[in-house]
Amino acid sequence: MTNLQNDLFIRALLKQPVERTPVWMMRQAGRYLPEYRQVRSKAGSFMQLCTNPELACEVTLQPLARFNFDAAILFSDILTIPDAMGLGLSFSEGEGPQFANPIKTADDVKNLPIPDPDIELRYVIDAVRLIKQNLHNRVPLIGFSGSPWTLATYMVEGKSSKNFQKVKALMFEQPQVMHQLLDKLARSVAAYLNAQIAAGADVVMVFDTWGGMLSHDDYLEFSLRYAHQVRELLNTQSQGRKIPTILFTKGGGLWLEAMAGSGFDALGLDWQTDIGAARARVGAQVALQGNLDPISLYASPTVIREKVAKILQDFGHGSGHVFNLGHGILPDINPEHVKAMVDAVQELSPVYHGLG
């Protein structure tokens, strides 16, 4: 049992009955909100914002003051672990993340430390505690990490990539080195998420942003295998309550059955996956989260409402659905369009739960 005032999100992830479909949004704390931009400016840089627990707490709570979201998500970045490993993370305008010391050799992998979350990543754990205190149990708090594969792509490429030439070359030419890197990352991710759970996170999510860039066999061997390892290492019981887990692979619609067998309670779906078909394939095993096209939030509130209605209809009756975007919200979306989405979910979904 939870002591949350609103536990719809938890119940839906565990496929328990709900009164309506819960809703939250990837990147819900971010640049589309003018109040976020003010705090970001005050912080001086994105990394200074991420590493300041008080400011991270402030921006985590901002969207809850505007919208009736059913969950908060920790404000942080997926690349905190590689940064804590000493790779020298920085962000530049228009360029995205970059590492000063990318992985190039087997020795680089061998010499990587596994960060202690309570030391090298203490600022994140402190932020989780502070956010949890300031939420006053209104809604659940989501902790998260990048997946081992996704972290590896940035660590080897040194930055964002279009073709993933360096990381795939390492994977093809020296698969044993890649496995060593991914194993080290899986243990690091699990320790990081376990520390977030111990600090108060009610749900944890693994973002596999670049798993969809792999071939069928390579996805199973180099991405899903290590997401499963993370799941196996998680402490999903905390203070007498179950901590639900979510796996999101962008472009992962081809592997839903395998993903459903990896131990996670829920799968995030991108917007290219038909949610009704996904439910028919795996819905008995896992809850599903998604999957409105983020671009649709540029449309009018009337169109947004129609798009929301279609996804709710496609999923159908019963629990096990968390409404979300199929990826993160874009920076120049009108906040009023987010409100239109949230309002539509809350107004239209009760009929699918026997209350409409």
Query: Which residues does residue 23 pair with via DSSP β-bridges, in sequence order?
Result: 323
- Token digits for 287? 């809850």
Q: What is d(CA 141, CA 202) in angstroms, rounded to the nearest whole number?
A: 5
- Token digits for 154? 């940035």
pLDDT(291) > 80 = yes
Domain-embedded: residue 101: yes
246: CATH: 3.20.20.210
Which residue has tokens 């228009």?
94
* Banded pLDDT at 2 (limits 50, 70, 90): low
Mean pLDDT of the 245-269 span: 98
Domain-embedded: residue 140: yes
- Known binding residues for substrate are 27-31, 77, 154, 209, 327
Is residue 32 among the annotated active site residues? no
Domain-embedded: residue 3: no
User: CB atoms < 10 A from the CB of 133, how many?
Assistant: 11
Q: What is d(CA 223, CA 322) in angstroms, rounded to the nearest whole number?
A: 24
Domain-embedded: residue 106: yes
Candidate list 70, 77, 83, 265, residue with the active-site label? 77
Which residue has tokens 């203070």?
239
Give the single-character DSSP code of 328: P
Candidate list 20, 40, 231, 305, residue with the active-site label? 40
Q: Are 157 and 167 in contact (CB under 8 A)?
A: yes
Determine the pLDDT at residue 354.
Answer: 78
Query: Which residues does residue 245 pair with via DSSP β-bridges, in sequence order?
Result: 204
* Banded pLDDT at 24 (limits 50, 70, 90): very high
Candidate list 31, 122, 129, 241, residue with the active-site label? 31
Mean pLDDT of the 140-151 span: 98
Is residue 279 among the annotated active site residues? no
pLDDT(153) > 60 = yes
Is residue 187 among the annotated active site residues? no
Sequence-distant (≥ 6) Cβ neighbours of residue 189 within 8 angstroms? 81, 145, 146, 147, 148, 151, 206, 230
Mean pLDDT over each residue of the chain, to the nearest integer: 95
Q: What percent of the chain has pLDDT over 70?
A: 98
Mean pLDDT of the 207-228 span: 97
Domain-embedded: residue 175: yes
* Banded pLDDT at 356 (limits 50, 70, 90): very low
pLDDT(304) > 50 = yes
Residues 330-348 have pLDDT tens digits of 999 999 999 999 999 999 9
| Residue 202 domain boundaries | 8-353
- Known binding residues are 27-31, 77, 154, 209, 327
Residues 60-84 have pLDDT tens digits of 999 999 999 999 999 999 999 999 9
Residues 279-288 have pLDDT tens digits of 999 988 999 9
3-state SS class at 112: coil
3-state SS class at 108: helix
pTM given for the model: 0.97
Is residue 129 among the annotated active site residues? no
Q: What percent of the chain has pLDDT over 90?
A: 91
Q: What is d(CA 348, CA 314) in angstroms, rounded to the nearest whole number?
A: 13
Domain-embedded: residue 1: no
Mean pLDDT of the 92-109 span: 88
* Banded pLDDT at 191 (limits 50, 70, 90): very high
Candidate list 27, 231, 279, 305, residue with the active-site label? 27
Determine the pLDDT at residue 355.
Answer: 54
Q: How many domains does the chain have?
A: 1
